[in-house]
Amino acid sequence: MDREKQQNETSEQETVRTAEDGERKNRLTVLGHSFREVKDLGYYSFSSLARQHLRPVGKAVGLVRIGGHTVRVYDIRSTEPVPEEEQVLTRCKVCGGVTDSATGVCHRCAQVIRSKEEMDQYEAEKARASRMDPERMVFLDLEMTGDVKADEILSVSMIDGNGDVLLNSLVRPRKARRWPFTEKIHHITPRMVAKAPTLEDLSDRIAEILANAEEIIGYSVSNDWRYLKEIPQVAAQEETLRGKVRCCQVFYDRLIRHDFPALENGKRSLSNAMAVLGLDWDARKHSSLGDTIATLKVWRRIFLEREMIRIPEPETAEEGPGDGGEEGNMGDA
């Protein structure tokens, strides 16, 4: 019983420590991309310190980025020995190694599990895409006022998998009168929406389109879904609709990481996806209709037009005068 109590206390302390560090995580600097890089500096992860029967007494000094994840590291000079009677370590449920994760699964095993889940979802979507009825697919995008405290929709566009427009409208916000920052991006002015329908006027149509869809797809769709689900008619069927929502940005990320790593450039924006996949814009970039059509084109390229994805040839150094023989000299001329 004492040992169980001790484990519970350790777990509670670790949860508090994790929560506190979570608040600071955004302010920590990435110091390297492997633990080996920071070891010479005397920086170790919580797990590494625990294996040495040490615990940090100071705050994390930075982060180590491994793949798409980050791990906090601590200065070994700011540690203290763990008394023998307190040396109760949390073991990974998968491999049995030491972990500081509240889930009970170490970072390495969690990464493997996450990768397998990603690939299973990706393969399932690829199989589903070829069977999907384009008329039952909805691609969408919103443009917003950008007010952090009270963001409002300024335009909404929805098209089906054939590219046919289901809804494309400006929206008159209820409260906002000016949005100078986002206006520079989407170019929607207060005058343009002065006589536009309100979101309430469009709510029934939006809910009807979503209800008839088999899949609802957007690029970084969580941002759009956050505001759509606040519409009462949509909120009433949120539980059903949530399972239909797909993020094209997530599938682009998996395409690059798993199938075409040669195209990796560290960027995941819609504009970057269009450029990397060799696609042209059919409407103005950063307009809701333009971004919706672009999302459809990226989705098609990922799932239906993969054979059209081109990997650029590696650049070769230009030959200097005399390096290429007679033909090389003619080229320089």
- In this predicted structure, what is the pLDDT of residue 87? 64
Question: pLDDT category, 274, cuts 50, 70, 90?
Answer: very high
- In this predicted structure, what is the pLDDT of residue 5? 47
Q: State the average pLDDT over residues 260-289.
A: 93
β-pairing, 30-32 with 62-66? parallel
Pick from 5-9, 38-42, 222-226: least confident: 5-9
245: alpha, beta or left, given left = phi > 0 and alpha = psi -120 to 50?
beta
Encode pLDDT of 236-270 as tens digits: 999 999 999 999 999 999 888 888 888 988 899 99
For 108, residues 6+ apart whose C-beta sits below 8 A from its C-beta are 95, 97
Identity of the amino acid at 20: E
140: nearest Cα among 251, 220, 200, 212: 220
Identify the residue with better confidence: 332 or 312. 312
Q: State the average pLDDT over residues 108-121.
A: 75
Got the DSSP string for 144-186?
A: E---SSS--EEEEEEEETT--EEEEEE-B-SS----HHHHHHH
197: nearest Cα among 178, 171, 230, 218: 171
Q: Where are the domains of the chain?
A: 2-112, 132-308
Encode pLDDT of 25-71 as tens digits: 446 888 877 777 888 888 988 878 887 888 899 889 988 877 667 88
Please say if the pLDDT value at position 129 is more than 60.
yes
Choose the most confident range, by mean pLDDT, from 231-240, 243-252, 289-298: 289-298
Q: What are phi and psi of 140, to 5 degrees?
A: -145, 160
Residue written as token pair 């190694």 = 97
Please say if the pLDDT value at position 16 is more than 60.
no
Please say if the pLDDT value at position 108 is more than 80.
no
Got the DSSP string for 234-252?
A: HHTTHHHHHTTEEEHHHHH
Task: Name the CATH superfamily for 132-308.
Answer: Ribonuclease H-like superfamily/Ribonuclease H (3.30.420.10)
Q: What H or E segment, with its residue span, contains residue 45?
A: strand 43-45
